[in-house]
Amino acid sequence: MSIVYNTKPTVSLREFIPRVQAAIDGVDVEMAAQYIADAAITFARSTRILRETICVELISCQDSYRLDTPYRIIEVVSVRRQESDNCGFAGQYSPNLQAYVDDGVLYLDPMPTDANAGSVIEIEVAMVPSRNAVELPETLYEDWVEAVVQLALSQLYLLADTPWYSLGASREQHAWYKQSVISAKMANMTKHKPLNVRLSPRRTRGRR
């Protein structure tokens, strides 16, 4: 059985390129696109920021279900029993049901029986874009474009025999990227929304 998953909106990978070219004069479009694609994959893998919920209707005596998605699933984050008619609404965790994905196939343990056939489980998965993707999930551009660009720049600055080679610039971009990774991991703990930190005004003592 193949389960088709309808992905959320995407954005062209080329939307990221002007930000790279603004920092590095002379980098060609194809080179920039390749480094952006690699950066998007690394960022998604490191942070598990690309998460989606897939609803699976259980079939008796079937423990494998092919998931037809444009992205590569790297981890099953959680398994829940669906408790409403709308997929994606938080249900109860199913601690006794184990799930993992291998090469696009979801495996369940224990195998569903007649007793639970027809019930629906919600599988939350973490995904990464494919290496040949020309479209990336919109959230990477709307919420995390700086992180992707920072990592791409940190790698591009390390290219020897290029006019823009700079070890210092690479280290600076990578330091910023590491801060973005921390923010993304925190966002996973706050319903996957970017973390906005509001600082209180610093109090100063008046002159005596």
Beta bridge partners of residue 56, listed in sequence order: 121
Contacts of 136 (CB under 8 A, 6+ apart): 10, 11, 12, 13, 16, 37, 40, 129
**Distance in angstroms (rounded) separating the CA atoms of residues 205 and 208:** 9
pTM listed for this prediction = 0.81
Contacts of 104 (CB under 8 A, 6+ apart): 66, 67, 68, 69, 72, 73
Q: What is the pLDDT of residue 191?
A: 63
Number of residues written out for the chain: 208
pLDDT band at 4 (very low <50, low <70, confident <90, very high): low
Q: What is the pLDDT of residue 74?
A: 92
Beta strand 98-102 pairing with 105-109 = antiparallel
* pLDDT at 37 > cutoff 60: yes
Q: What's the DSSP call for residue 48?
A: -
Q: What is the pLDDT of residue 83?
A: 57
97 vs 106, more confident: 106
Q: What is the pLDDT of residue 55?
A: 87
* pLDDT at 87 > cutoff 60: no
* pLDDT at 185 > cutoff 80: yes
Q: Which residue has the tokens 């002007």?
A: 18
* pLDDT at 199 > cutoff 70: no
* Mean residue pLDDT across the chain: 84
Beta bridge partners of residue 108, listed in sequence order: 99
Return the H-helix or E-strand segment holding 29: helix 29-47
Is the preceding peptide bond at 129 cis, omega within 30 degrees of 0? no
